[in-house]
Amino acid sequence: MARAHKYDVIVVGAGGAGMMAARYAAQNPGVSVAVISKLYPTRSHTGAAQGGVGAALGNVSEDHPEWHAFDTIKGGDYLTDQDVAEVFAHEVIEAVYELEHMGLPFSRTPEGRIAQRKFGGHTREFGKSAVERACYAADRTGHMILQTLYQQSIKDNVIFFNEFHVLDVILEDGVARGVIAYELATGELHTFHAKATIIATGGNGRMFKVTSNAHALTGDLMSILWRRGIPMEDPEFYQFHPTGLYKIGVLLTEGARGEGGILRNADGERFMERYAPTIKDLAPRDMVSRAMYLEIREGRGVGPDKDYILLDLTHIDAAIIEERLPDITEFARIYLGVDPIHEPVPVQATAHYAMGGVPTTIDTNVITDGKDTIVPGLYAAGEVACVSLHGANRLGTNSLGDLIVFGRRAGVEAAKYAASNDYGQLPAAEQDRAREELERIRAASGKERASHVRKHLQDTMMDNASVFRTSETLSSQIEILREIQERFLEVSVEDTGSQFNTELMEAVELGYLIDNAVQLVHAAHHRRESRGAHSREDYKERDDEAWLHHTLIYQDGNGVRLDTKPVTLGKYEPKPRVY
Amino acid sequence: MRINVKIKRFDPEADRRPYWAEYPLDVRPTDRVLDVLNQIKWEVDGSLSYRRSCAHGICGSDAMLINGVNRLACKLLVRDLGEIIAIEPIRGLTVLKDLIVDMEPFFDAYKAVLPYFVNDEPDPPRERLQSPEDREIFDDTTKCILCAACTTSCPVFWTNERYLGPAAIVNAHRFIFDSRDQGTEARMQVLNQANGLWRCRTAYNCTEACPRDIPVTRAIEEVKRELLWRRA
C-alpha cells in the first residue's frame, strides 16, 4: 500500500461523529474524503450507547426544544455555552428524523412513531417533572446509530483506513495539514496530506480503574493535539455514570430508571427521595453518583464489603424488561449471575464520559485560546471535543445527540474549507515526531511493563480524582503522576515485530492516557469550587463569582499552564441546581 | 482457581506454521476469557496478539474458537469452561498473527448484499411510520455485531470461501423484512447467485455460534422462502 495519501478531508475516528462528518463532507461533489480509524468502524464505542438520543419530538407527550435546551444548561450546572445548547436542541430533532430516514430501526409507539422514554434530567416546563424525550431502539440505540451510519457509508462508497493509529497531527504555520498514522497490520507509517482534518476519536475513560469505556478509549488525540500546543478545555469535568455493573463497570443504561427502576441502599431505602425529591432516581448523573458514594460512605452500602448499591427492577413487568432492556438484562445475567427480573442488580459508579476536550467553536473549528482564535483546517466533534454543550455535567442521551449534530456540522464546515483552500506545503521529514516516539519505546531497555504502569495510573486516578476530590487527594495525585511519567520512560516491549504489534500500540496509548490524567488532575486541583461532576469536598459550593468560566489547560515544558475562556450565557441566569 | 490455557499461536515474522503454547494461570472463576488473555499479555508474554475493544459483547472484535466453539472472549466466563481452555482463531479466514484473522473477505461478503436502507421516495418531513408489529419482524437481525462467529462456524463456508455466509444473509434479512425498505429486488439477485443463499445446508452451527442469540438459521430460511414466493 502506498504510504503517502492525499484527501481533501481526513476524518480521524469512525464512530458516530466521524461517520456523520464523513457523510456530510462527501456530499460535496469534488471533495475527496477518507476516514482513518484504529478499529474497524463497527467496533467503535458509539455502539455501546444504550438508552437513547434526546430530541423534543413530542411523540409521547408535549415537548419543546426550549425545554431541552434549558435542561441541558441546568444539567451542565450553567457551564454549558447557551448558544450551543439552543442550536443543539433544535438541530437534534432534524438529525433524529434524518437517522430514521437512513433506516435506523427505532422502537415504535402504537401509532408507529419513534418511541420515546424518560431519562435523567430531562423535564417538561423547565423542571416540573420528567418527560419522555429519549428516542430509543430497545437498549441498543448506539448500536443502531453506528450500524446505520456504517451501512450508509457503504452505500456512499466512503473510503476507510481501518486499524490505522494516528500518531501525529501535522500543524505547519498554525494550519492543519493532515495526520501521520501507523498501520497496525504492517507497522508502517503513512502520511495523510489533507486540506481539512476532522478529529472524532471519542473519550479517555481508560484512565480510571472502573469504567464503561472500551479498551480503545485512551484519549489519543487529546494528548497528540496537546503536545502540539492546543489547549484542552474543562478536563476536570468527568462524568461517572451511576449504574455500572459492580466491579467490572459495564454500563446499565439510565433507561432502566427511565422505565421505573429504583436505586436502593442496604436498608432497602429509595435514597434518591432524600437527594432529589422531585425527580428522584432520574436526577442527573453527577448527583446520583454522589448520592451513591455518600450512602456507601455512611455505611449503607450493600454486600459483605458494603461497597455497592442495588438497582431494583423487580417491580417492573417482566415483559417490559425483556422488550425494552434486553441487553442490560443479559449483561447482569452473564457477568454477575443475577437475573434483574427476580433480584436487584449490584451497581457502582463507573467512569463514563469526558465533558471536556479539544475546544471548538459552535461550527466545530478547533481554537487555541479563550478568544476563539481558530486553527485553520482543524475540526473536532463528539466526545473528544468540547464545544461546550455539556458544561460541567452531561445529561443522559445528549452524547448521541452531540455526535450527530456536531459530527454533521464538522463535515459541512470542513468540506466548505477544503473547497475554498489549496493543499498547504507539508513540512520536511513530516513523520519524524511519530517515528521518534515509536523508536524510543521499541529501543527502550527499562524493566517496566506498560500494563503495570497503566494499572497504577487507573487505581490512583480512581482513588484520588473520581467522584469526590480534595486539595489533598489531588496534590497527592499530581505527585503520583510525576512518578508515573518517569516510570513510563522505563517501559519496554517484548514484541519487536512489525505486524500487528499491539503491545507497542498499548505502550504508545499509555503515554496518551497519562497526558489525559495530567490535564484532568491539574485542572481539578486548580478549580476551587464544586460544579456539576467536579465535586470538591474542601470547596462544596458552586462559586459563580470566581469560577463561572471554562478552564483551558496547556502543556508548558514539563508542566502545565492554565487559562480561562468565558462561558456564553443567555436566557437562563445561573440558579441553584435543585431537582 | 488454577487453569491451563492453550493458545494456538502464529507469528508470521518468525513461525512457519502455527503451534500450541500453554500458559498455567491463577484466575478468578468470574474472569472473562478476555481477562485471561489480557493476563497473559500483560503479565507473561506481551507479544500475544488478539483484537478486543468494548469487553462486553457489543463491539464484535474478539470472536474466537474457544474449547471448540465460536464465542466472544469477553462474553464467556472461566467458570463456564473448566480448568482447561483451548483458544484458536476463528476458522475459514486467513490467520495473520495469533488470534487475529483477515476480516476483509468477511466484510466484502457483507457489503455484497447491499446492507443498507433503500427508499427512493422523498423523505417525509418527520419519521416514516412503522407499526410495532412491523418493527418486530426484523428485530432479531438488527442485533448483528459483525463478529463473524456465525460465518466462521459454517461448514459450507469452510469448504467454499466464496459463499456469502450467514452473517451477510442475516444483514440482508434485516432490510428485506423492513416495511420501509425498497431495495429487496436488487438484494435478491445477489442472494440468488451460485455462491449465495442456496449454499446453506441448514447445519445450525451459525445459530449456536451467535453471541447475540439471533436465530440465524431461521432468518436464512425466511429469506429463502421470501425469494421463492417472489419468484412464484
- pLDDT value, residue A1: 60
Ranges in chain B, pLDDT < 50: none
Terminal-to-terminal C-alpha distance of chain A: 57
Tell how strand B84-88 and strand B2-9 pair up.
Answer: parallel
| SS3 labels along A69-110 | HHHHHHHCCCCCCHHHHHHHHHHHHHHHHHHHHCCCCCCECC
The confidence score (pLDDT) of residue B230 equals 86
Chain B CB contacts of A148 below 8 Å = 117
The answer to whether the CB of A139 falls within 8 A of the CB of A339 is: no
Q: The complex's ipTM? A: 0.98
Q: Is A285 a catalytic residue?
A: yes
pLDDT tens-digit series, residues B123-153: 999 999 999 999 999 999 999 999 999 999 9
Segment (H or E) for B181: none
Task: State the distance between the two ends of chain B, measured CA to CA, in whole angstroms.
Answer: 60
Q: Kindly tell me the burial class for residue A344, based on how many C-beta atoms sit within 10 Å of its own C-beta (0-12, 13-18, 19 or more).
A: buried
**Cα–Cα distance measured from residue B38 to residue A502, given in angstroms and rounded to the nearest whole number:** 12
Work out the minimum CA distance from B47 to partner chain A, whole angstroms: 5
Distance CA B10, CA B95 (A): 8
Q: What is the mean pLDDT of each run of 10 residues along chain A (579 residues)?
A: 91 98 95 98 97 97 98 98 98 98 98 97 96 97 98 96 98 97 98 98 98 98 98 98 96 95 98 96 96 97 97 97 95 97 98 98 98 98 98 97 98 98 96 96 96 98 98 98 98 96 98 98 98 98 98 96 98 94
Cβ contact (<8 Å) for B142 and A137?
yes
For A107, which of B49, B59, B135 is closest by C-beta distance? Answer: B135
The beta strands (E) that lie in A316-430 are given as 345-354, 358-359, 365-367, 374-380, 385-386
Taking a C-beta distance cutoff of 8 angstroms, is the pair B180, B102 a contact? Answer: no
Measured between CB atoms, does B41 come within 8 Å of chain A?
A: yes
Contacts of B30 in chain A (CB under 8 A): 335
Best residue in B50, B72, B101, B127 for a mutation probing chain A (most A CBs within 10 Å): B127
B77 — contact with chain A (CB < 8 Å)?
yes
pTM over the 0.80 mark: yes
> Measured between CB atoms, does B43 come within 8 Å of chain A?
yes
Pairing type for strands B19-26 and B2-9 reads antiparallel
Distance CA A461, CA A211 (A): 12
Are residues A495 and B46, on separate chains, in Cβ contact within 8 Å?
Answer: yes
Q: Is A250 touching B (CB cutoff 8 A)?
A: yes
Distance from CA of B125 to the nearest CA of A (A): 8
Helix axes A220-227, A502-526, angle to 10 degrees: 70
Which residue from A40, A154, A500 is facing B103, i.e. has the nearest CB? Answer: A40
Judged by a CB distance cut-off of 8 A, whether residue A143 touches chain B is yes
> Which amino acid, A264?
R
